């Protein structure tokens, strides 16, 4: 067994850490307050090739796997959970295209992602279809006269939806079949009939710009159908499997960031005549936080490893998300407890980290949905 990152991965970690410490961390407070998508940060990530991870080398992507992607997400999340979310969600489009996209779609979109800083998003959730995506209402009707699909309906809670250059949108091509009638389409910015609505006012990950999308007779060329008609639900589920490892990495990074802040604070804060780091009560919190973080780390990289080598990873991805999101919530909570009253103030980053952590138990499938998936996987394995 090998638990070490290789030299490339260590260099990548160093590179992203530097970006996070010098550029992303210092902007995090302002981005959280302003609640506006950090265009400059996305461009920096694109210039460094981080947004191209997952694009195959033959289309201009870097030689990097899911493990490298997780390293990047983890390091960024240490400083800003919202930026890490933006990067992770962008990766869902990139990954779906690799597995299900046509050759023409790859040639059309991958070079833009690899070289032009193209930003992509993923749109499955609807106002009445969250944990139960098969109950979606958005439809896509094929028009043979123009060889286009006509989309009608709306999506909500779409990360970066109003900024994305292209979005993977799921719609029912045969509503009578439910999940089996769902198909996936690439909707591009500026397509007629496609518009965006309000940006949600959220508790955390504020600058990720969570948007509403509207499709009003939006005509999408057949060339933008991803995978076969009726296979969309499988594409969505597979994309979410991958995304859950990403959420695990975001949660891990948030927890690590909160521990880092705490370690520095306990040396500075003097009570009872000594730094609070000398108090055993505080030391126990630190021990608990560090231990939880250690478990979270291996859940991310084991799941990412399985995905990288092509082994089944659905169960491990769900476990990673379920466990790590809990770790993030608990560790950020302890970090705030350690900071006391100061931690509750926006002046200290743990207040933001605490707010950012909560979403990891909700998006890309709630903790309860993860348990449904895990139980199904475990029970079906037992029957074999």
**Active site annotation includes 126:** no
Binding region for another protein (CB under 8 A) out of 3-11, 90-98, 220-228, 353-361: 3-11
Q: Using CB atoms within 10 Å of the CB of residue 141, give its burial: 0 to 12 exposed, 13 to 18 middle, 19+ buried.
A: middle
Q: CB under 8 A: which stretch of 4-12, 103-111, 317-325, 327-335 binds another protein?
A: 4-12
Distance between CA atoms of 43 and 25, rounded to whole angstroms? 16
Residues 32-61 that bind another protein (CB under 8 A): 44, 47-50, 52-53, 61
What mask, x for binding another protein by CB under 8 A, covers residues 64 to 103?
x---x-----------------------------------
- Min dist. Cβ of residue 64 to another protein (A): 5
Provide CB contacts within 8 A for 5, sequence distance 6+: 13, 67, 71
2 versus 7: smaller Cβ distance to another protein: 7
Interatomic CA distance for residues 62 and 343, integer angstroms: 40
Distance between the two ends of the chain, CA-based, in angstroms?
Answer: 27
Q: Which of 115, 361, 364, 368 is catalytic?
A: 364
In the bound state with another protein, the residue whose beta carbon lies nearer, of 21 and 143, is 21
Nearer Cβ to another protein, position 61 or 253? Answer: 61
Task: Supply the DSSP string of 188-228, one letter for each residue.
Answer: ETT-TTEEEEEEP--SSSGGG-EEEEEEEEEEEEGGGEESS
- DSSP codes, 233-278: HHHHHHHHHHHHHHHHHHHHHHHHHHHHHHHHHHHH-EETTEEGGG
Min. distance of Cβ 11 from another protein in angstroms?
A: 5
Residue 301 has φ and ψ, to the nearest 5°, of: -75, -25
Q: How far is the CB of 173 from another protein (least distance, A)?
A: 37
Decide whether 18 or 143 has the Cβ nearer to another protein: 18
Residue 344 CB, shortest distance to another protein, in Å, is: 20
350-358 helix and 314-339 helix, angle to the nearest 10 degrees: 150
- We find the least distance from the C-beta atom of residue 50 to another protein, in angstroms, to be 6
Cβ 309 to another protein, closest distance in Å? 19
Q: Is the separation of the CB atoms in 153 and 139 below 8 Å?
A: yes
Task: For residue 290, state whether it binds another protein (rule: CB under 8 A).
Answer: no
Span 8-27, contacts to another protein by CB under 8 A: 8, 11-12, 14-15, 18-19
Contacts of residue 260, defined as CB under 8 A and 6 or more positions apart, other chains included, come to: 78
Q: Which is nearer to another protein, 53 or 150 (CB)?
A: 53
Helix 81-100 to helix 25-34 angle (10° resolution) is 90
Q: Are strands 210-221 and 148-159 parallel, antiparallel or unpaired?
A: antiparallel
- C-beta separation of 324 from 251 below 8 A: yes
Query: Which stretches of the chain bind another protein, using CB under 8 A?
Result: 7-8, 11-12, 14-15, 18-19, 44, 47-50, 52-53, 61-64, 68
Q: Would you name the residues annotated as active-site residues? A: 364
């Amino acid at each position: 067994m090998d638990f070490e990152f290789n030299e490339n991965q260590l260099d990548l970690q160093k590179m992203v850490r530097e970006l996070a410490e010098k550029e992303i961390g210092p902007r995090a407070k302002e981005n959280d307050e302003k609640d506006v998508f950090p265009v400059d940060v996305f461009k920096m990530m694109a210039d460094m090739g981080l947004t191209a991870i997952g694009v195959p080398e033959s289309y201009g992507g870097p030689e990097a796997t899911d493990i490298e992607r997780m390293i990047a997400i983890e390091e960024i999340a240490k400083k800003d959970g919202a930026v890490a979310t933006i990067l992770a969600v962008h990766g869902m489009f990139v990954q779906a295209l690799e597995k299900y996209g046509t050759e023409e779609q790859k040639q059309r979109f991958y070079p833009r992602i690899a070289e032009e800083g193209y930003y992509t998003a993923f749109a499955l959730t609807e106002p009445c279809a969250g944990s139960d995506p098969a109950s979606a209402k958005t439809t896509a009707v094929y028009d043979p006269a123009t060889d286009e699909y006509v989309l009608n309906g709306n999506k909500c809670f779409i990360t970066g939806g109003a900024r994305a250059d292209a979005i993977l949108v799921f719609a029912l091509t045969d509503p009578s079949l439910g999940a089996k009638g769902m198909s996936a389409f690439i909707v591009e910015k500026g397509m007629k009939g496609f518009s965006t609505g309000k940006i949600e006012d959220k508790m955390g990950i504020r600058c990720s710009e969570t948007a509403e999308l509207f499709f009003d007779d939006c005509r999408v060329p057949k060339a933008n159908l991803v995978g076969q008609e009726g296979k969309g639900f499988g594409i969505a589920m597979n994309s979410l499997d991958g995304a859950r490892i990403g959420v695990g990495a975001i949660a891990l990074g948030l927890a690590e960031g909160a521990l880092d802040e705490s370690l520095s604070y306990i040396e500075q804060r003097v009570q009872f005549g000594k730094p609070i780091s000398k108090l055993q009560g505080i030391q126990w919190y630190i021990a608990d936080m560090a231990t939880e973080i250690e478990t979270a780390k291996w859940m991310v990289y084991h799941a990412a490893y399985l995905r990288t080598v092509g082994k089944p990873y659905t169960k491990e991805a769900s476990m990673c998300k379920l466990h790590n999101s809990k770790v993030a919530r608990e560790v950020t909570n302890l970090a705030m407890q350690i900071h006391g009253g100061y931690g509750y103030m926006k002046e200290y980053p743990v207040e933001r980290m605490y707010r950012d952590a909560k979403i990891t138990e909700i998006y890309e499938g709630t903790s309860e949905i993860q348990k449904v998936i895990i139980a199904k996987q475990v029970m079906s394995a037992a029957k074999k």
